[in-house]
Amino acid sequence: MSTNKDIEEGVEFIPKFDDKGLITAIAQDSQTGQILMVAYMNQQALEITIQTGYGTYFSRSRQKLWKKGEESGHVQKVEQILVDCDQDCLILKVTVDAGQCHVGYRTCFYRALKNNTNKKLEFIGDRAYDPNKIYGKRS
């Protein structure tokens, strides 16, 4: 059994998967620091990511492994993997060549709360590509 000190101050990688077997993984542009997306990994997705060097996740909606970019071609080359103090969250520092969000933006975080209130969102991201050309027209 690992102690808190082992987990927080040690050099052993002891990723903590939640009760659904998942760990949160943030993909961050290694060049700009921009946060691109947040997804989830099960143990297998993490192992594949480490082995292949490409961001691979577990899709909660589809309940299956999902190599980011397998459909769009917008893969994530992993440069570095960071873990937080209690080892229940990862950052993947990645190199990407194009938009990462299926809606067509470079990042999934393309909207901000207007004037920091909870009323309305404003768009702050630029379209990176036309998703209709990759995924077909959205309903």
Q: Is 80 in the site for its own copies (CB under 8 A)?
A: yes
Please report, as residue ranges, which positions from 41 to 70 form the binding site for its own copies (by CB under 8 A): 46-47, 50, 53
- Residue 47 to residue 50: CA distance in whole angstroms: 5
Please report, as residue ranges, which positions from 95 to 134 form the binding site for its own copies (by CB under 8 A): 101-103, 105, 108-114, 116-124
The count of other CB atoms within 10 Å of the CB of residue 125 is 18
The count of other CB atoms within 10 Å of the CB of residue 106 is 21
CB contact burial 71-100 (16+ within 10 A = b; e otherwise): ebebbbbbeebebeeebebbbbbbebeebb
Q: Is 32 in the site for its own copies (CB under 8 A)?
A: yes
User: Least Å distance between CB 13 and its own copies?
Assistant: 5
Judged by beta carbon, residue 85 or residue 97, the one nearer its own copies is 85
- Residue 33 to residue 99: CA distance in whole angstroms: 15
Q: Is 6 in the site for its own copies (CB under 8 A)?
A: no
Residues in touch with its own copies (CB under 8 A): 4-5, 8-13, 24, 26, 28, 32-35, 37-38, 46-47, 50, 53, 78, 80-86, 89, 91, 101-103, 105, 108-114, 116-124, 138-139
